[in-house]
Structure 1
Amino acid sequence: MSAVGFDFRNERCVVAVAKHTGIVYIDEEQDFLGTNGSGTRKKYPESSISLIMRWIIGRPFSDPELQQYLKALPFSVTEGPDGFPLIHARYGEETRSFTSIEIMGMVFSNMKRLAENMSNAPVVDCCIGIPVYFTYLQRSAVLEAAKIVGLNPLRLMHETTATALAYGIYKTGLFEDVHRNVAFVDIGHASMQVCIANYKKGEMKILAHSFDRCLVGRGFDEVLYQHFAAKFKADYEIDVFQNAYAGIQLRDACEKLKEELRSNPEALLYIECLIDMNYVRCFIKRDEFKQISSSILERLKKPLEKALSEAKILLADIYAVEVVGSDSWLIRILTDYFGKKPRNTMNASECVSKGCALECAIFSPNFKVRDFQVNEILPFSIALQWKGFSSMQRYYGEKENLRSCIVFPIGNPIPSVKSHTFYVSGTFSLEVQYAYATEMQAPAEISTFTVKVAQIFKIGPFMSTKYVRPVIKVEVEVGLNLDGCVSVNSAKYPDHLKWGKWRLCVRV
């Protein structure tokens, strides 16, 4: 059996296989999937599916954020019968419709095959990297896609945590006799994520996570894209918004232009045969680029400040800053903020998959890995909501009220189990919600445990005898697993016929 780590980015995937001689990284090989598939993107944009992991999977079609993303996609996406996106593409001689989970399953299948070819062993156990801001629906969708192809995810691992593991596990001498705090800043194609980790010998503890789901390296590409699209329409009467092929060409050119502006005060954008054999060329200065992207630059500091605040440390307590991700244009801004130049010592393309493969090897009995403990935390607060009584109301015959409490606060260790006592009149619904939906930039509800949702749980019914009081005391055990998903493990109430005994509620 192999220990495998998967890193699914918006436009590329990396799989790392742990071997006894080290970590091996695998590039994609299959036509129309992975690197070779990107060659068909310009030729067949309407049938070249990408950007699934960050933009589409696990999101309801009505999600306003998804609706904004769909405007930039060259392929067709409509609402499915379950309220989630359906992706339409040419498959052979016909147009087929796929769910995002099915598309991700195809990618998992391809990467699993490559890993098996490289390791000459079956691949079942794996660890999958996900963005720290993924919701319950998104995490569940990734797990379902992996299980479709026979994979057994040992855990979902936050990308910045995987990066921190890959960074610290080999630096034994650096943390021998002292605690050190290291900040990891990932400004990638789809989001910005910040993590602060504390290291000591044989152990890593995550102090804080923060993120901005919409502050991205792609955002800088987008402002360039909008700038030149408007300029081409005015100067050349070319509308790239009406031509998928031209739009892809311009986006690729803007990405290269952005990198040129890192080291040059001025850069040239030149595209041959944009539309109808027309070529375009245009210069832009770095100062002009900063001006049109000023709103993005201002937002950069907020996740940094939030991470420091939640970690309860000062800037002076940061030993080092590591920049990872596909976009490292903001080195100067990070230098000004932290007061020290960020390092780029990690391979941005491999660090997440490497950390995931190492974590999978730590779990596996087939590998002997250096003792290294990873202490993860919850990046957002999770609350329970139900209709019931308070501990005092039950004595005075008052009506049930809608009540809530935070059961897993931000920074809560992962995994974790907690018990909570409820006073109810009978079968009741227990909703698990994000406590601060505005911070998550996502719908508040995670899932509902109720009679109406029989495929999950119901809490009740309770024993019906004359000895049962009008108000029932119910103890519910709520679990937070390694994947960051919440479940109701058990529910019980006192058996009034047998003193000191408890009855389990019916579970479906």
Structure 2
Amino acid sequence: MSTPFGVDLGNNNTVIACARNRGIDIIVNEVSNRSTPSLIGFGPRQRYIGETGKNQQTSNIKNTVENLKRIVGLPHNHPDFKIEEKYFTVPLHPDGHGGISAEVKYLNKSHKFNATQLLAMYLDKIKNTAYTETKGNITDICLSVPSWYTEKQRRAAADACKIANLNPVRIVNELTAAAVGYGVFKANDLPEDEFKKVAFVDVGHSSYQVSIAAVKKGELKILGSSFDKHFGGRIFDYAIAEHFANEFIGKYKIDVREQPKAFYRVLTASEKLKKVLSANTQAPFNIESVMNDVDVSSSLTRDELEEMVKPLLEKIHIPIETALKEANLKAEDLDSIEVIGGSSRIPIVKEKISEIFGKPLSFTLNQDEAIAKGNAYICACHSPTVRVRPFKFEDYNQYTVSYFWDKEDNEDEDHLEVFSKGGLFPSTKIITLFRKGPSFEIEAKYTKSHELPKGTEHNIAKWKISGVVPSQGESSIATKIKLRNDPSGFYTIESAYTVEEQIVKELVEPKEGEEVDEDAEPEYKEVKKLVKKSDLSIEAVTAGLSDKILQKFIEEEGKMVSEDKLVAITEEKKNQLEEYIYELRGKLDDQYKDFANEQEKEKLSSMLMKTEDWLYDEGEDSTKAKYIAKYEELASLGNLIKGRYLQKEQEKKEQYRQKQEQAQSKAMAEKMAAQREANKNKEQTKEQSKQDEDVEMEN
């Protein structure tokens, strides 16, 4: 049985939730944090993912990859690439398939991993975190992505799940997941008949999204959605960092941008300062030995920060107004404005959003965990073993998609707009084409450029449909093609089949009000109907990875996981050996001194010293087998002495136990003797009382 597993993949931190214990729980990681840094570090022996990667980021800055969700599925020639490149401290290159790869030094060699592989590595780590906490079978995942993700990006996210040996039961828009959580967990506050109009606003680390939803008990519809891909907390961080970088040039004669480590430390301190300014109007800024042994100090006010990001704040109204327009609503029509996302804690951001809506904001959802909980619930809906409260929801189609085909005789059109912007999905449409056979192709494309983010590829997928055989005597045959915008937002052809016209008999139904003779024979009429003839085969070429490349990446990830485990076990054996050396040396002159003769002590002390010298010299980076061999060599004599000590301790415990038993037996015997004496005295007293009563009666 798979534990339903929801992941809110954040650009800075990721939150995991699982459906269990009759509710949705947030999963803590190995250091008990409720969110995990979204990055991967590469070292000479292993990978450092999540918390371990964050801990080593300063010293391993040139081999640490973050901002994973910004490059997955992004073409290398996309205009966003130039924007994103400045946020990376590793070189980025084309991956040979139109995407992006990061170059790092791993296992002392240069490696290039594409964005899908990198995301898969991170999801594999997240999966193991969930397994460690729940001990459940973690296979099914609901992963949330930004609403502006194209087909290619959504497919890349699904492929990353598969490489991590996860089954992506659904790829869902982030704010839709939050809205589902709102509809499910606040069901008691929702009306049963009328829809409540709610705006969901998410200001995250790298993007800003708005969705307008109609929600009532048990049902949700996304009416409108908009976004700004380049509005988020990291813009504030970089604005602060650039401000101080410029200040330090004049004040300390250093340019921290010349050294990646120095600038990263400034950037980290800038993020902390931003958080302090959310609660205070002024904050200090101090870093020791930031560069060239120079200590820096300064301060910043909230007003100064707001002035720095003024151009950004001036466009904060655009996604809100666009989403309202697409939903065909005005701000006054809304019943609530629910705000989530870490950057929504910035005072000026809250203030501006409230001004635009003209209403107070609501923070009833957990700003960091709402999306993950919604994901876990959606995943639970797909589980055959977990029972959840029924909840129907439909998402908002962000871009218009048309299907194209080659024109044949007497056809006026070669394409059809099937899924328009603003439509709800999942959705299915059936089209009919007359084909001569034996095969034909259909292609799906984005068809309205003004709706698309600049640089978006128009091609989505292509299908080859084979097996078309016209009926005898006919030049063509009708083919029915079922087109689908599925629950994950993927555009597919679900099925294709040919139909032919046949004469069939239908029962003649009596007209309304006409008397029916029950004894009369049923009357039939012959009618022409399209009847399914045969199913057609479908070969798809999508934006996702081919089966061959996918399998290759799965094998590579499995190999890297094995290498990481081997390094972890080797480190564990090394630590075990080191602990044994110190423990044995400390006890040899203390607890074990009476249990080893001088010859044994001298031999063991020599062995301990030689092993310690080896451990901190050539054994610093040795193999698991050698650490085990060294441990067993020491244990052959050390455990012998330890065994004598433990045997003596056991004898002492046995003697103590026997003494305790004897004392308890003696105490019990004394107690019983005392009880017998008391009973005897009691009987004597009763007898005496009886005799005294007899005497009184005689008198």
Say yes or no: TM over 0.5.
yes
RMSD: 2.8
CA distance in 1, matches of 2:376, 2:115: 25
Contact 1:431 1:445 in 2 (8 A): no
CA distance in 2, matches of 1:228, 1:445: 42
Once the two structures are TM-superposed, the CA of residue 41 in structure 1 deviates from its matched residue by 0.7
* 1:295-310 map, 5 Å: 295-310=311-326
* 2:58 partner SS: coil
Write the deviation string for residues 8-63 of structure 1: whole angstroms up to 9, x where unpaired: 1112222111112422222333982212321111110111221112x111112222
Q: Is 1:289 equivalent to 2:305 in the alignment?
A: yes
Contact 1:418 1:477 in 2 (8 A): yes
Write the deviation string for residues 261-315 of structure 1: whole angstroms up to 9, x where unpaired: 3344443333222211112233334333333322211221111011111222221
Comparing 471-480 with 365-374, greater Cα deviation is found at 471-480
Contact 2:58 2:265 in 1 (8 A): yes
Partner amino acid for 1:353? A
Partner amino acid for 2:443? E
* 1:387-466 map, 5 Å: 387-388=406-407, 394=410, 403-422=414-433, 428-441=440-453, 442-449=455-462, 457-459=463-465, 462-463=468-469
Match of 1:452 in 2: none
Partner amino acid for 1:430? I
Match of 1:358 in 2: 377
* 1:433 partner SS: strand
Partner amino acid for 2:197? N
Once the two structures are TM-superposed, the CA of residue 372 in structure 1 deviates from its matched residue by 2.4
Match of 1:13 in 2: 14
* 1:29-428 map, 5 Å: 29=30, 32-53=48-69, 55-177=70-192, 178-328=194-344, 329=346, 330-388=349-407, 394=410, 403-422=414-433, 428=440
Contact 1:240 1:246 in 2 (8 A): yes
Q: Which structure: larger Rg? A: 2
Once the two structures are TM-superposed, the CA of residue 340 in structure 1 deviates from its matched residue by 1.9
CA distance in 2, matches of 1:467, 1:313: 56
CA distance in 1, matches of 2:407, 2:27: 54
Match of 1:480 in 2: 485
Comparing 1-10 with 429-438, greater Cα deviation is found at 429-438
Write the deviation string for residues 326-360 of structure 1: whole angstroms up to 9, x where unpaired: 10121100111112221223222211111111111
The TM-score normalised by the length of structure 2 is: 0.65
CA distance in 1, matches of 2:316, 2:49: 33
Partner amino acid for 1:254? S
How many pairs are equivalent?
Answer: 491
> Could you list the runs of 5+ residues in structure 1 that have no partner in the other structure?
450-456
Partner amino acid for 2:65? I
Q: Is 1:490 equivalent to 2:495 in the alignment?
A: yes
> Identity of paired residues, percent?
29
Partner amino acid for 2:92? V
**Shift in CA distance, 394/343, structure 1 to aligned 2, threshold 3 Å:** same
> Could you list the runs of 5+ residues in structure 2 that have no partner in the other structure?
32-46, 504-527, 540-699
CA distance in 2, matches of 1:176, 1:372: 14
CA distance in 1, matches of 2:372, 2:481: 37
* 1:432 partner SS: strand
Match of 2:652 in 1: none
Once the two structures are TM-superposed, the CA of residue 481 in structure 1 deviates from its matched residue by 0.8
The TM-score normalised by the length of structure 1 is: 0.88
CA distance in 1, matches of 2:502, 2:191: 59
CA distance in 1, matches of 2:202, 2:255: 34
CA distance in 1, matches of 2:235, 2:83: 13
Partner amino acid for 2:377? L
Partner amino acid for 2:451? E
Match of 1:507 in 2: 538
* 2:299 partner SS: strand
Comparing 215-224 with 191-200, greater Cα deviation is found at 215-224
Contact 1:495 1:503 in 2 (8 A): no
Contact 2:430 2:481 in 1 (8 A): yes
Write the deviation string for residues 103-124 of structure 1: whole angstroms up to 9, x where unpaired: 2222222121221222222111
**Shift in CA distance, 339/47, structure 1 to aligned 2, threshold 3 Å:** same
Partner amino acid for 1:394? N
* 2:297 partner SS: strand
Task: Looking at secondary structure, tell me which structure has more helix per residue.
Answer: 2
**Shift in CA distance, 506/129, structure 1 to aligned 2, threshold 3 Å:** closer
Once the two structures are TM-superposed, the CA of residue 239 in structure 1 deviates from its matched residue by 2.6
Contact 2:478 2:500 in 1 (8 A): no
Contact 1:388 1:423 in 2 (8 A): no
CA distance in 2, matches of 1:89, 1:381: 39
**Shift in CA distance, 421/247, structure 1 to aligned 2, threshold 3 Å:** farther
Once the two structures are TM-superposed, the CA of residue 170 in structure 1 deviates from its matched residue by 2.1
Once the two structures are TM-superposed, the CA of residue 437 in structure 1 deviates from its matched residue by 3.6
Once the two structures are TM-superposed, the CA of residue 371 in structure 1 deviates from its matched residue by 2.8
**Shift in CA distance, 435/237, structure 1 to aligned 2, threshold 3 Å:** farther
Partner amino acid for 1:38? K
Write the deviation string for residues 422-466 of structure 1: whole angstroms up to 9, x where unpaired: 4678765433222334433141424241xxxxxxx2145754899
CA distance in 2, matches of 1:444, 1:425: 31
Partner amino acid for 1:94? K
Contact 2:161 2:168 in 1 (8 A): yes
Comparing 189-198 with 436-445, greater Cα deviation is found at 436-445
Partner amino acid for 2:360? K
